[in-house]
Amino acid sequence: MINGKPGRRFYPSRGIHQGDQISPYLFLFVSEVLSLMISKAINSNVLQGIKLGSGGPIVSHLLFGDDTLVFLKATKPNCDQLVQLLNINYSKSCLFFTPNTANCMRMEIEDTLNIRGIDDPRKYLGLPTLWGRAKKDSLAYIKDIINKKVQNWKQVLLS
Which amino acid appears at position 42 of this protein?
I
State the Cα–Cα distance between residues 38 and 69, nearest whole angstrom. Answer: 11
- Number of structural domains (the chain) is 1
* Contacts with 46 (C-beta within 8 Å, 6 or more apart), sequence order: 81, 85
* Residue 83 within a domain: yes
State the Cα–Cα distance between residues 96 and 116, nearest whole angstrom. Answer: 9
* Residue 126 within a domain: no
State the Cα–Cα distance between residues 126 and 35, nearest whole angstrom. Answer: 24
Half-sphere exposure of 110 (CA within 13 A, CB side): 14
* Residue 153 within a domain: no
Query: What is the pLDDT tens value at each position of the chain, 159 positions in all?
Result: 677 777 777 666 655 566 677 777 777 888 888 899 899 999 999 999 988 888 888 899 988 877 888 999 999 999 899 888 888 888 888 898 888 889 999 999 999 888 888 877 777 777 777 776 777 777 887 888 899 999 999 888 887
* Residue 137 within a domain: no
* Contacts with 114 (C-beta within 8 Å, 6 or more apart), sequence order: 90
CB-based contact 117:96 (threshold 8 Å): yes
CA 147 to chain CA mean position, Å: 30
* Residue 132 within a domain: no
CB-based contact 37:43 (threshold 8 Å): no
| Report field, pTM of the whole predicted structure over 0.85 | no
Domain that holds residue 48: 1-119
Q: Would you say the C-alpha torsion 52, 37, 100, 88 has a positive or negative sign?
A: negative
* Residue 139 within a domain: no
* Residue 147 within a domain: no
Question: At 113, phi and psi to the nearest 5?
Answer: -85, -10
